[in-house]
Structure formats: structure tokens, C-alpha cells
Structure 1
């Protein structure tokens, strides 16, 4: 489970993101239908011929498997000048 911790002044938020949600979102983002809609939106708004290449879902499965094995790994830890802190940990 990925844990996102946000600390802003007197408030603290912890957002757990289960790996099942990551698998679901990878499945949606790599679908051909979503890719076609995203590329159309880019062409319409940007008026450029840039296209997002298709990514095979099978290529991303080893990445998700490895992430699930690296529990406790700190991915991001940052703080702003106003005291807001964000950390993302596996």
C-alpha cells in the first residue's frame, strides 16, 4: 500500500492507496480507447502532431510487482517554505 502523508500547518492527512487501485488505473491508462481520446484532445487543443505512444500493460506489470516488494521505501519527501510537507512511502 502506498501511503501519502500531507502535513499543512495544523492539519495532517494520510491517504492510503492500495496496489489494487494502481493495477486498475494502469489497466485504464493503457487501454487503446483512452489513448485515442487523449491523442485527439492533444491534437485539438495543442494543434500539434505529438502523440502519446501506446504502452503495453504487460510491460508495466513487473514494475508494479517490484514496487509491492519494496515496502517502506521513501519515494518523495518535500517541504515548502510555508511549512507544508508531503511524503510518499511504499
Structure 2
């Protein structure tokens, strides 16, 4: 399970993200229809950025590897205003 912890001045909360939700999001991101909609919205905004097409077979080993390495901190940051964010497996 992916755990996102956020600490602000007077607020602390943690968001658990099960691997099933990550798999569902990977299906959505790799969908050609969703990719087309995202690129249309970006183009309408006037940006020259293009959201790349990602294939499901490329994400599958990554998602399988995440479940094998629980406890690893993926991302941790502290801002000047005291806000802390941590993403942990």
C-alpha cells in the first residue's frame, strides 16, 4: 500500500492508496481515449506540451516491483513554511 503523509502548520493527514487503485489508475492513464482527451485539453489551453502515450506493458513491471519493496520512501520534502510531504511504500 502506498502511503502519502502531509503535515502542514495545524493539519496532519495520511492517505493510504491500495495497489488495486494504482492498477485502476494505470488502466485509465494507458487508455488511448483518455490520452486523446488530455491532449485535446492541453492543445485548447495553448500549451505545446503533449502527454505521451504510455503502454500498459511498460507500467506492469513497475507496479509489481512496488509491492515487493514495502517500507521504502519514494519522496520526502520539507518546505520553508513548515509543510512536509512523504510518499512511502
Same fold? TM cut 0.5: yes
1:17 paired residue number: 17
Q: 1:61 to 1:13 in 2, by over 3 A?
A: same
- What TM-score, normalized by structure 2, do the two folds share? 0.88
RMSD: 1.5
- What TM-score, normalized by structure 1, do the two folds share? 0.87
Q: 1:1-80 to 2 correspondence within 5 Å?
A: 1-46=1-46, 48=48, 50-80=49-79
Q: Which runs of 5+ in 1 are unaligned?
A: none
| Aligned positions, number | 89
Q: Based on CA coordinates, which of the two structures has the bigger radius of gyration? A: 1
Q: Report the 3-state secondary structure (helix = DSSP H, G, I; strand = E; otherwise coil) of the residue aligned with 1:65.
A: helix
User: Deviation above 3 Å: which 4+ runs of structure 1?
Assistant: none
How far off is 1:25 after superposition?
A: 0.5
How far off is 1:77 after superposition?
A: 1.2
